[in-house]
Amino acid sequence: MTVVVRQATARDATYAVPLLLDAGEHLLTKIYGDGDRDTAFAFLSAAWLRGTGQYGFANHWLACIEDEIVGIISCWHDSLPQHFDRDTLTSITDFFGLDEAIDVVMRSQTYTIALNPPMVLEMSIGHLAVAAGARRSGVATILVRYMENMARELGKLSLVLDVEEHNIRAIDFYKSMGFKSRQGIPPFIQFTKGIAPVIT
């Protein structure tokens, strides 16, 4: 079985967006659906097709076995375009309308206050999910290793990520990959892993 990682495209939406929702269904449904999964899914689908912003295809990478999409991951760092955050907000206002978008942003703030953006020499990863039929086959490990290499190429010295404190399976996985707990701000635990620099 050969797993190939590639950057996502708009045409991957049918298979990628369900994985994107799987990556954080509990939180995403609360924030973007106010408890309704279908609304959250519809928003993520629209945001994906925009391309830019936090949920756009341009900042996601996919693990594929032959032509089948079996995993997804994303990252954040200080080299992202200056309009990245603005595009994320625009995707929200365009989908929900201004009044409801304010409610969405307020729900989001409940959780984002517990999250710290990556520092200059860090790269943050997230939105990691693997299709049910491909779990426990090394796909998640390949995606994280891909992000490690990307971080190294960007000159970063560590990867960081946030995991919901009740997600024991994910915590155990990241620990097995060499990540160490750095801090806990409920409902998240932040993990970090050092990246060996490129030697020239």
CATH code of the domain in which 105 resides: 3.40.630.30
Residue 107 contacts residue 31 (beta carbons within 8 Å): yes
Residue 190 contacts residue 116 (beta carbons within 8 Å): yes
Q: What is the DSSP letter of 193?
A: E
Q: Judge whether 87 lies within some domain.
A: yes
Q: Judge whether 98 lies within some domain.
A: yes
**CA-CA distances (angstroms) from residue 151 to 43, 102, 115, 121?**
29, 34, 20, 9
Q: How far apart are CA 75 and CA 16, in angstroms?
A: 16
Q: Judge whether 92 lies within some domain.
A: yes
pLDDT at 138: 96
**CA-CA distances (angstroms) from residue 81 to 6, 61, 84, 85, 106?**
20, 17, 5, 9, 24
pLDDT at 123: 97
Q: Judge whether 30 lies within some domain.
A: yes
Q: Which domain holds residue 38?
A: 3-194
Low-confidence ranges of the chain (pLDDT < 70): 200
- How many Cβ atoms sit within 10 Å of the Cβ of residue 75? 22
Residue 126 contacts residue 154 (beta carbons within 8 Å): no
pLDDT at 94: 97
pLDDT at 51: 96
pLDDT at 200: 64
Q: Judge whether 99 lies within some domain.
A: yes
Instruction: Give the mean pLDDT of the chain.
Output: 95
Q: Judge whether 200 lies within some domain.
A: no
pLDDT at 115: 86
Residue 172 contacts residue 132 (beta carbons within 8 Å): no
pLDDT at 130: 98
Q: Judge whether 199 lies within some domain.
A: no
Q: Does pTM top 0.75 for this prediction?
A: yes
Total domains in the fold of the chain: 1
